Amino acid sequence: MNKKALLIIPPDRFNEDELFHPKEALENAGVNVTVASTTVGEVTGDNEGKVNAEVIFSSVSPNEYDIVSVIGGSGTIDHLWGNQELISFLKTAYDEKVLVTGICAGSVAVAKTGLLSGRNATCYPVDLMINELKANDVEYVVQNVVAHEDIITSNGPDGAKDFGESLVNALR
């Protein structure tokens, strides 16, 4: 499968399950995965897991990828929710027919683009995130993964493996 995925994490405090499970599923399917952030270098997760951010997401073109995913974690709320560059990047990706996806707090980042307006999505089941979906005219649903043809959202660590599988299936 000659496909490419860009997984965007915050510059600190990403969620390990939400990054590593989908990353593994994609790599096992032969997808070339690039981890991106707002900085390059080693990033530490919520549970002290480590990963290397290879590129700054805003320095690459979304159309170089088949899928763009915003990963959750407490850092996503602090660093990515209000990031206008990220919102623009996701909208550009969507306009260029790149599959836009998010998990947990990353689902909220996707919702903030307006691309999910009037549609169903899921996120981590806490009021802070559910209220953000609702504020962006998104109908919150309780399930591990909500897969539209053009956007996929997931609820968090519990759904991380299902999320990975749904990304692989979407690329087939």
Task: Please compute Rg for the chain using Cα positions.
Answer: 14
SS3 145: strand
Could you list the residue range(s) of the whole structural domain that residue 96 is in? 4-171
- Please count the helices (runs of H) and the strands (runs of E) in the chain: 6, 11
Kindly report, residue by residue over 45-73, the tens digit of the pLDDT.
999 999 999 999 999 999 999 999 999 99
Contacts of 43 (CB under 8 A, 6+ apart): 9, 10, 11, 12, 14, 37, 50, 51, 52, 53
CATH number of the domain enclosing 154? 3.40.50.880
What's the rounded Cα separation, in Å, for the pair 161 and 166? 9
Kindly report, residue by residue over 89-144, the tens digit of the pLDDT.
999 999 999 999 999 999 999 999 999 999 999 999 999 999 999 999 999 999 99
Total domains present in the chain: 1
Supply φ then ψ for residue 70, to 5 degrees.
Answer: -100, 120
Indicate the pTM of the whole model: 0.98
